[in-house]
Amino acid sequence: MGKKVAIHNLGCKVNAYETEAMGQLLVQNGYELVPFSEPADIYIVNTCSVTNIADRKSRQMLHRGKKLNPKALVIAVGCYVQTAGAEAVFADGAVDIAIGNNRKKDIISVIRQYERSHSVNTDMVEIGKETEYEELEIETVTEHTRAYIKVQDGCNQFCSYCVIPYARGRIRSRRQEQVLAEISRLVRAGYREFVLTGIHLTSYGLEQPESSENLLSLIRAADRIPGVERIRLGSLEPRVITEDFMKAISELSHICPHFHLSLQSGCDTVLRRMNRKYTTEEYAACCRLIRTYFPMAAITTDIIVGFPGETEAEFASTKDFVRQIRFADAHIFPYSRREGTAAAVMPGQIDGMTKRRRAQELETVCAGLTEAFHRALEQTRQEVLFEQQESIDGKTYMVGHTGAYVKVAVETEERLDNRIGDVFICKPLNREIMLAQLENLY
């Protein structure tokens, strides 16, 4: 039996994809994967650095690995390594190997080099100068029905609050043929839904303007793969929502009517301070366009409250704008000061109590909008991909999601995992799940 390796992932869906890929590389090379809480010979933490809190969590997990087995090899991988630098990562003695972004594919050779030399090792690049997409791939995923497919890395936006361009570098896109080959493999493995994701998905293909490969061409090609039942898009920027784009994807067979359209603030003056490259009116026009082609679409978003200098009037503008757009769901984040960003040194930093209050107020508004979106689905027929069996209030249900990513439960003892069915939506089962009756399976 090979050495035991425990991997812990922090952060975004891209990180999760890369963690899956590293795990599969390790297994292919004779290592045994075990839970992070168990004794292991090697502990790997795929770190996050989106906030100072994420940095702290990354350090805590690295220390936990060393505490679980002081003789173990502890490896820090990813964004925290890239932004903090090797000297800071190694400073407290918990880490033996530091691997930056765009070098995760080399994890096997880095481990073997360490085992030969037994010296502290670093594999990092100047990420801002990287132009090649790091080829990582997966054969299977932890989820049994839905597969996240990383197609893009890096970001050129430089929003004033965000460290990601420094952690991930400039935009780099995966070759379309590699993406399609991976989706085809996963179809053969039984997966039916595919989520296209990236650090800045909207930028897919833009670093090669002479190429015919762009986000729309990728979506079209994925839609044609036999066995693909659903294609869901990751987080988008408003600039991709054009008449031509929406018309084109509305003509495809497998696009989910779910659009996560990044907002961050519903106030133009705050958007300018954030260095976001659209106005609220432009954003609203995108939402109208989405609903023209997908009338029952779920539009979801991310919003930051308490950004430096945000006045009560500016926050009120955001609440009004959120009501105007009628989001199906929203992730609300109190602004987290991130060292090394322009926003960190802006005047008018908001105190924690005010940020928490605003977050709670906006969450209440958004909860009402989610409830209204769910009510609009009552007495309608929807397609559901069933994912797992759950016990709720002593009854057995099969649960899954509609194309608009609404969670639905059907009371049944029958296992319907990875089956797609037509259901009739009855009423809310609770705040998060809609109760439905099964009408047809296929």
Q: pLDDT grade, residue 118 (50/70/90)?
A: confident
* pLDDT for the residue 33: 96
Q: Which of 74, 90, 125 is the last residue of a domain?
A: 125
- pLDDT grade, residue 412 (50/70/90)? very high
Mean pLDDT of the chain: 94
Task: Answer whether residue 5 shows pLDDT above 90.
Answer: yes
Which helix (DSSP H) or strand (DSSP E) does residue 23 occupy? helix 13-28
What CATH number did the domain enclosing 429 receive?
A: 2.40.50
Q: What integer is the mean pLDDT of 162-183?
A: 96
Tell me the C-alpha to C-alpha distance, in Å, between residue 52 and each of 49, 70, 80, 155. 7, 26, 10, 19
Check residue 442 and give its pLDDT: 85
Residues 231 and 208 placed together within one structural domain of the fold: yes
Same domain, 292 and 190: yes
For the beta carbon of residue 280, count every other beta carbon within 10 angstroms. Answer: 20
Of the pLDDT bands very low, low, confident and very high (cuts 50, 70, 90), residue 142 is confident
Mean pLDDT of all residues in 162-177: 95
- Judge if 341 and 193 occupy the same domain: yes
Q: Locate tokens 């609203």: which residue?
A: 284
Q: What's the CA gap between 1 and 23, in Å, rounded?
A: 16
Residue 206 and residue 78 share a domain: no
Q: Do 182 and 265 have their domain in common?
A: yes
The answer, yes or no, to whether residue 60 has pLDDT greater than 60, is: yes
In the structure, what pLDDT confidence band is assigned to residue 120 with cuts at 50, 70 and 90? low
Q: Can you tell me the distance from the alpha carbon of 303 to that of 330, in angstroms, rounded to the nearest whole number?
A: 7
| Helices and strands of the chain, counted as H and E runs | 13, 18
pLDDT bucket at 122, cuts 50 / 70 / 90: low
**Cα dihedral across residues 124, 128, 133, 137: positive or negative:** positive
- What total number of domains does the chain contain? 3
Tokens 């989106």, residue located:
50
From 125, 155, 180, give the residue that closes a domain.
125
Same domain, residue pair 247 and 342: yes
Confidence of residue 387 (pLDDT cuts 50, 70, 90): very high
CA distances from 36 to 70, 141, 195 (A): 14, 18, 26
Neighbours of 177 (CB within 10 A): 10
CATH of the domain at 294: 3.80.30.20
- Residue 143: its pLDDT value, please? 75
Q: Is residue 184 domain-resident?
A: yes
Judgement on whether residues 421 and 286 belong to the same structural domain of the protein: no
Closest Cα to residue 73, out of 115, 109, 113?
115
Spatial separation of the C-alpha atoms in residues 35 and 4, rounded to whole Å: 10
Find tokens 């995760």 and name the residue: 104
Judge if pTM exceeds 0.85: yes
Q: Residue 144 has what pLDDT? A: 78
Domain annotation covers residue 135: no
Question: Are 114 and 192 in a shared domain?
Answer: no
Query: Using one digit for the tens of pLDDT, what is the confidence trace for 17-44?
Result: 999 999 999 999 999 999 999 999 999 9
Please tell me whether residues 372 and 385 are part of one structural domain.
no
Last residue of a domain, one of 94, 125, 156: 125
Segment 314-337 shows an average pLDDT of 97
pLDDT at 352: 97
Q: How many CA atoms lie within 13 A of 435 on its CB side?
A: 12
97 and 182 part of one domain: no
Q: For residue 133, tell me if it sits in a domain.
A: no
Write down the pLDDT at residue 125. Answer: 57
What is the C-alpha separation between 176 and 120, in angstroms, rounded?
Answer: 37
Q: What is the mean pLDDT of the segment spanning 348-355?
A: 98
Q: Taking a C-beta distance cutoff of 8 angstroms, is the pair 176, 213 a contact? A: yes
Q: What is the longest distance spanned by two Cα atoms in the chain?
A: 66
pLDDT value of residue 135: 87
Which of 289, 211, 203 is CA-nearest to residue 248? 289
Is residue 394 one of the residues assigned to a domain? yes
**CA 59 – CA 89 distance, rounded (Å):** 8
What are the C-alpha distances in Å from 170 to residues 77, 79, 111, 354, 410?
Answer: 19, 14, 27, 35, 45
Residue/partner pairs of 427-430 with CB below 8 Å, 24 or more apart = 427/378, 428/371, 428/374, 428/375, 429/392, 430/392
Residue at 346 is within a domain? yes
Q: In this structure, is residue 130 part of a structural domain? A: no
Q: Name the band, by pLDDT with cuts 50, 70 and 90, for residue 300.
A: very high
C-alpha span between 382 and 436 (Å, rounded): 9
User: Is there a single domain that holds both residue 105 and residue 156?
Assistant: no
165 and 104 in a common domain? no
- Identify the helix (H) or strand (E) that includes residue 431: none
In a domain, 134, yes or no: no
CB atoms within 10 A of CB 317: 19
User: What is the predicted pLDDT for the residue at 222?
Assistant: 98
Range of the domain at 420: 381-441
pLDDT at 1: 59
| Residue 361 dihedral angles phi and psi, to the nearest 5° | -60, -45
Q: What is the CATH number of the domain that holds 77?
A: 3.40.50.12160
> pLDDT band for position 104 (50/70/90)?
very high
- Tell whether 406 is covered by a domain: yes
Q: What is the DSSP string of 211-246?
A: SS--HHHHHHHHHTSTT--EEEE--B-GGG--HHHH
Give the distance from CA 61 to its chain's centroid: 20
